[in-house]
Amino acid sequence: MASEMTPTRRALAAVLGGRVDYVPPANPLAQTTVELMKYANASWPKAHFDAQMMADLASAPYDVCGIEAARPQFDISLEAEVLGCPLDWNKPDRPPVAAHAYTNPDDVTWPDDLANTKRVPVVLDAISILREKYSGMLPIIPVITAPFTVAGHIAGVENLVRWTRTDPDKAHAFIDAATDFVIAYGKLQVEAGAHILFPADPSASGDLISGETYEEFVLPAHKRMAREVSAPKILHMCGNTSKLLPYVRKSGMDCFSFDAVPVWYCRQVLGNSMSILGSLDVIDLMPNGTPQDVYNRTRECILQGTDVVGTACDVSFGTSLENLKAYVRACRETPVPKAGDIKDTIREIGVGIGNWQVKNKKGSNDCGGVFK
């Protein structure tokens, strides 16, 4: 299919529910594979601290494979680090939080000069470098750790989840403080040149919290982010988020990036209330499948109704360039489903449902058991 749009225009149109010439392979999940790091001459942990290296590695998926997004900031611990948490740099690729920093939400604070604090200027400079390098043609989609996960990092995830039951006021106070910080950081990313933000909230997974907990504690933070930061936003949550979807659709976010939920089911529940981004498996398919497997799965995602094709989580280091290129090729070669293609689309969705049932050993009338 002939390309008629720039990658930035295509990604923005897809995220905001507009027309596209093909479904974009605008993956905002980290793709720091061995081969792409070699291409960018990048290394850990330097890529976290060197703005030029960060920009080069963030754009390598596009330069080498045609993936239509650049995602600076490779970890989701930066925000907690700025707020006072130590990180475990023994795992330099994506350093985890080593210890929480607060027991009282009233103590949460950060410097007034946030743009020049710790690694924040590195990310902002990388965004600016990318904006200038591609003259706005390549969408810059930096990750930003979303409030519930930040609150869990700074106060302890187990503590936060427990407080949602035993001390809801304390849980709300920590989440509110984290939301204030995330909004301030998000505005800096937009000011630096980000086209779209990618708030990642893995601790808000349906594997950890209930739909009711999401509605009371997480949804207000997501609504504030959607309202107070101007750029379009793709909300990402890991795990089985099926029971959260009715609440996610109220978040005001522009697009939802999902993991262990079938595309057709996510489309069914969210309808046209927001765009969806998903979902190529990174545990088996991307590192171990053939390029044809990846191509077929990408095509299936498109025909089941995804607006952007991306991976379910960060791409593993061993994923081959051939598989990444197959994903891009499938996006470019698969026609966008139209109203006139309804019979073919329904047929393809049926195939997807059938494959899901076989894989999970569900009966022919049992589409919902996996979502309980």
Percent of the chain with pLDDT over 70: 90
Confidence at residue 365, expressed as pLDDT on a 0 to 100 scale: 35
Confidence at residue 357, expressed as pLDDT on a 0 to 100 scale: 62
Whose CA is closest to 75, among 60, 100, 58, 99? 58
- Which residue is it, tokens 């360039």? 321
Residue 346 has pLDDT above 90, yes or no: no
Whose CA is closest to 203, among 150, 281, 277? 150
pLDDT in tens, 308-325: 999 999 999 999 999 999
**Counts of helices then strands in the chain (DSSP H, E):** 16, 5
User: 175: pLDDT confidence band, cut at 50, 70 and 90?
Assistant: very high
Our measurement of the distance from residue 143's CA atom to the centroid of its chain's CA atoms, rounded to an integer in Å, reads: 7
Confidence at residue 7, expressed as pLDDT on a 0 to 100 scale: 98
**What is the pLDDT averaged over residues 117-123?**
98
Which residues touch 340 (CB under 8 Å, ≥6 apart)?
none
The ranges assigned to domains in the chain are 24-275
Beta bridge partners of 234: 255
User: 366: pLDDT confidence band, cut at 50, 70 and 90?
Assistant: very low
pLDDT in tens, 212-239: 999 999 999 999 999 999 999 999 999 9
Where is pLDDT greater, at 340 or 136?
Answer: 136
**What is the pLDDT averaged over residues 241-270?**
95
Was domain 24-275 assigned CATH 3.20.20.210? yes
Across all residues in the chain, what is the average pLDDT? 92
